[in-house]
Amino acid sequence: MSPLSIGTLRGLQQLADPGGIFSMCAMDHRGSLREMLSPGAPDRVGGGDLTAVKLDLVEALAPEATAVLLDPLYGAAQAIAAGLLPGRTALIVSIEASGYEQTPDGRVTALLADWSVAKIKRMGAAAVKLLLYYRPDHEGSAAQQRAVVRTVGAAASAEDLPFVLEPLLYAASPSERASESLEGRRADLVSRSAADLVPLGPDILKVEFPGRGLPPAQWEDVCRALDGATPIPWVLLSGGATFEEFVRWVEAACRAGASGFLGGRAVWEDALRFTDRDERRRWLQTTGADRMRRLSDVAGEYGRPWWKKYAPRLADLAAPDSTWYQKYGP
């Protein structure tokens, strides 16, 4: 791997706390948030409703996070314009379109039209994020998905912006879902996905818990296997876990080498049961904020600082001299 560039290094510094730990909150949900707000009729949830929820999330949780992840449609610019995103809290912005294309070979991700890494950097974000449905054992769709990662990775490199990649497993057929056979292979497939995708340009890997469905006694072992498969920092996503489950997962992952978390629903989904906005905001500003602090404490106690993964590349980063700016850029 090449030495870290100045811009990417600065972005990584902004995403973490002074100890090198990522305590980040995901709020970029779109279609899934509509489902959460109106399970029986998600189409009735308008864009204004989504923005209102996201602004409440940012107001309550961003002060407790090192970074927040928002989408460009309903959250990122709106939170900045409303003055709710603290200057000390870094911004990550998603680049993928919501959902996926279902092909005979599997799910394929599309990038959001009229949106780009360059625009994400231009608005002041510290990183770009790509969600990628990925099955390393299904080569047809996997090859297409790797091409998407290469595209975003090349653009992020050109813009000197950190790239957060979120590969997600999925059941390839109803029979696989019904048999739950994927659960028994999850740890191996998560590690294989990391080994496939890390060489294509991401700077941070946002991964699902590889020990899901396994006895707790095996959690750290499978997390260590994942840690060995990736030479870049990795953080844990919550993936529909309850808050208490996520706390235990974050501890196990951080003990095994993770550099923190980038969780969403486990932190704030319970707030959505309140139909009254004032009640929802009170819950977020008390219980929700407490949850972020608790997760940050766990990650801070057990997590590995991100720069330890990058030690060889940081060592290769020559100290800039007075002419460095002349050679900087494309």
Q: What does the domain layout of the chain look like in residue ranges?
A: 6-317
pLDDT of residue 27: 98
pLDDT of residue 88: 96
Give tens-digit pLDDT for 262-304.
999 999 999 999 999 999 999 999 999 999 999 999 999 999 9
| Residue 241 near residue 209 (C-beta atoms within 8 A) | yes
For residue 130, list its beta bridge partners: 165
Residue 324 has pLDDT above 90, yes or no: no
Segment 201-229 shows an average pLDDT of: 95
Segment 202-224 shows an average pLDDT of: 96
Residue 187 has pLDDT above 90, yes or no: yes
Residue 24: which of 89, 107, 79, 88 has the closest Cα? 89
Query: Which residues are within 8 A (CB) of 24 and not within 5 positions of it... i.e. 6 or more apart?
Result: 15, 65, 66, 67, 68, 69, 92, 235, 260, 261, 262, 263
Measured distance CA(2)–CA(25) in Å, rounded:
29
Residue 239 has pLDDT above 80, yes or no: yes
Banded pLDDT at 176 (limits 50, 70, 90) = confident
Banded pLDDT at 179 (limits 50, 70, 90) = low
Residues in the chain: 330
Rounded to the nearest 5°, which phi and psi values hold at 53? -65, -45
């299904």: which residue's tokens?
A: 138
Residue 183 has pLDDT above 90, yes or no: no
pTM score, whole prediction: 0.95
The first and second tokens of residue 258, run together, are: 């993770």
Give 82's DSSP letter: T
| Residue 290 near residue 54 (C-beta atoms within 8 A) | no
Measured distance CA(46)–CA(29) in Å, rounded:
14
Residue 322 has pLDDT above 80, yes or no: yes
pLDDT of residue 315: 77
Residue 169 has pLDDT above 70, yes or no: yes
Query: Which residues are within 8 A (CB) of 234 and not within 5 positions of it... i.e. 6 or more apart?
Result: 194, 204, 205, 206, 207, 226, 227, 257, 258, 259
Residue 184 has pLDDT above 90, yes or no: no
Q: How far is CA 282 from the centre of its chain?
A: 26
pLDDT of residue 58: 98
Measured distance CA(21)–CA(208) in Å, rounded:
18
Rounded to the nearest 5°, which phi and psi values hold at 134? -150, 130
Measured distance CA(296)–CA(260) in Å, rounded:
8
CA angle at 94 for the pair 277 and 40, rounded to the nearest 5°: 45
Strands 163-168 and 234-236: unpaired
Measured distance CA(329)–CA(161) in Å, rounded:
12
Residue 1 has pLDDT above 70, yes or no: no
Give tens-digit pLDDT for 39-75.
989 899 999 999 999 999 999 999 999 999 999 999 9
| Residue 286 near residue 273 (C-beta atoms within 8 A) | no
pLDDT of residue 178: 60
Q: How far is CA 9 from the centre of its chain?
A: 18
Task: Kindly report the average pLDDT of the chain as a whole number.
Answer: 94
Percent over 70 (pLDDT), the chain = 98
| Residue 257 near residue 223 (C-beta atoms within 8 A) | yes
CATH topology of domain 6-317: TIM Barrel (3.20.20)
Percent over 90 (pLDDT), the chain = 84
Lowest mean pLDDT of 6-10, 233-237, 323-327, name the range.
323-327
- What torsion do the CA atoms of 59, 60, 61, 65 make, to the nearest 10 degrees? 70
